[in-house]
């Protein structure tokens, strides 16, 4: 069975109600998590959290607005590549880095994993890769975080085998099976939050876990079907699909077979 090791690599702050309607104006911390998924014979990193590259790329100019909107706190010792090193794992030991989507707080460490195979939504990358300037900023994408040669290491998850999921994962019925993951890691589309937004079902000894990325920012969102502030809709790729995904998470939660983990949960 697979194991999941959680890393926190920096955090940002914003008003609670931005993440959860009705949560008020109190400023809350939203940790940026990455996950090491180890299957019987494979090692995978899900997202990268923040990294010094993000601080560098948003120090001045247009992309400094990113940090003005969501102030970022990051200590170099939190870099995922360093935390992995403390577990005795080098970038070259990973079978793949898997990107849930292309927002800065999920891809900022990519330059620390240059040359490592990277899996992503091909559809999402096609919609993101040529964004520049204000168009990129509006989509939460910082082009400077993408390392040289990135595309030559990238594989679209759409090229993986499409398989049927067990009934206990309803309403999710199909997924992309991660190659080399011993049938313990399945990637699913969780559309709405960002172009090509992905999640992953992981089979662990204590049951199924869904890494649900940014499909919600608080468990209350999928438990009680409460969305974020209307203001947060500005950064959403497709608000209507975001709520479709939230309803699917709500059904999955009510089914009682899966532990759902959100990248930024904790404050609310």
Cβ-based nearer residue to Zn ion, 39 or 121: 121
Least Å distance between CB 40 and Zn ion? Answer: 30
Least Å distance between CB 245 and Zn ion? Answer: 13
Cβ-based nearer residue to Zn ion, 2 or 268: 268
Q: Of all residues in this chain, which one has the CB nearest to Zn ion in the complex?
A: 103
Output the CA–CA distances (angstroms, integers) from residue 262 to 131, 139, 210, in the order listed: 26, 20, 9
Residue 78 found at the interface with Zn ion (CB under 5 A): no
> Contact at 8 Å (CB) between 6 and 32?
no
Q: Could you say which residues in the range 214-253 bind Zn ion, by CB under 5 A?
A: 214
Q: Which residue has tokens 């999941």?
A: 4
Cβ neighbors of 126 (< 8 A, separation 6 or more) are none
Least Å distance between CB 194 and Zn ion? Answer: 5
Query: Strand, helix or coil at 9?
Result: strand
- Kindly indicate which of the ranges 69-77, 102-110, 161-169, 240-248 contains the residues binding Zn ion, using the contact rule CB under 5 A: 102-110
Least Å distance between CB 22 and Zn ion? Answer: 21
Cα–Cα distance, 87 to 100 (Å, whole number): 23
Cβ-based nearer residue to Zn ion, 111 or 139: 139
Least Å distance between CB 140 and Zn ion? Answer: 6
Residue 265 found at the interface with Zn ion (CB under 5 A): no
Cβ-based nearer residue to Zn ion, 101 or 169: 101
- Kindly indicate which of the ranges 34-42, 100-108, 145-153, 177-185 contains the residues binding Zn ion, using the contact rule CB under 5 A: 100-108
Q: Which of 240, 244, 230, 265 is nearest to 11 (CA)?
A: 265
Cβ-based nearer residue to Zn ion, 103 or 111: 103
Query: Strand, helix or coil at 252?
Result: helix
Residue 103 found at the interface with Zn ion (CB under 5 A): yes
Q: DSSP assignment of 163-225, as one string?
A: EEPPGGGTT--EEEEPTTSTT-EEEEE-TTSSTT-EEEEEEETTEEEEE-TTS-SSHHHHHHT
- Give the binding-site size for Zn ion (rule: CB under 5 A): 2
Cα–Cα distance, 67 to 114 (Å, whole number): 24
Cβ-based nearer residue to Zn ion, 181 or 260: 260
Q: Which of 143, 264, 252 is nearest to 190 (CA)?
A: 252
Cβ-based nearer residue to Zn ion, 184 or 214: 214
Least Å distance between CB 34 and Zn ion? Answer: 13
Q: Token pair for residue 243?
A: 């709520």
Does residue 216 have a cis bond before it (omega within 30 degrees)? Answer: no
Q: Which residue has tokens 């969501």?
A: 70
Q: Could you say which residues in the range 188-217 bind Zn ion, by CB under 5 A?
A: 214
Q: Which residues bind Zn ion (CB under 5 A)?
A: 103, 214
């Amino acid at each position: 069975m697979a194991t999941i090791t959680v890393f926190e690599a920096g955090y940002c702050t914003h008003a609670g109600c931005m993440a959860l309607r009705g949560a008020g104006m109190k400023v809350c911390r939203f940790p940026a998590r990455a996950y090491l998924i180890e299957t019987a014979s494979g090692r995978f990193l899900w997202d990268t959290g923040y990294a010094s590259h993000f601080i560098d790329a948003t120090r001045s100019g247009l992309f400094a607005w990113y940090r003005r909107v969501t102030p970022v706190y990051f200590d170099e010792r939190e870099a995922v590549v360093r935390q992995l090193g403390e577990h005795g794992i080098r970038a070259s030991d990973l079978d793949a880095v898997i990107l849930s989507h292309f927002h800065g707080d999920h891809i900022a460490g990519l330059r620390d994993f240059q040359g490592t195979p990277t899996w992503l939504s091909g559809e999402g990358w096609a919609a993101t890769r040529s964004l520049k300037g204000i168009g990129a900023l509006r989509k939460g994408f910082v082009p400077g975080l993408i390392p040289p040669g990135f595309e030559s290491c990238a594989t679209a998850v759409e090229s993986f085998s499409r398989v049927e999921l067990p009934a206990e994962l309803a309403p999710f019925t199909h997924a992309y099976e991660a190659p080399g993951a011993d049938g313990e890691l399945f990637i699913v589309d969780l559309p709405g939050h960002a172009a090509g937004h992905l999640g992953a079902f992981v089979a662990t000894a204590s049951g199924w876990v869904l890494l649900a990325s940014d499909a919600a920012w608080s468990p209350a969102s999928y438990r009680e079907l409460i969305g974020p502030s209307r203001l947060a809709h500005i950064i959403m790729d497709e608000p209507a699909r975001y709520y479709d995904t939230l309803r699917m998470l709500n059904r999955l939660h009510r089914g009682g077979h899966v532990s759902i983990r959100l990248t930024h949960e904790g404050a609310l």
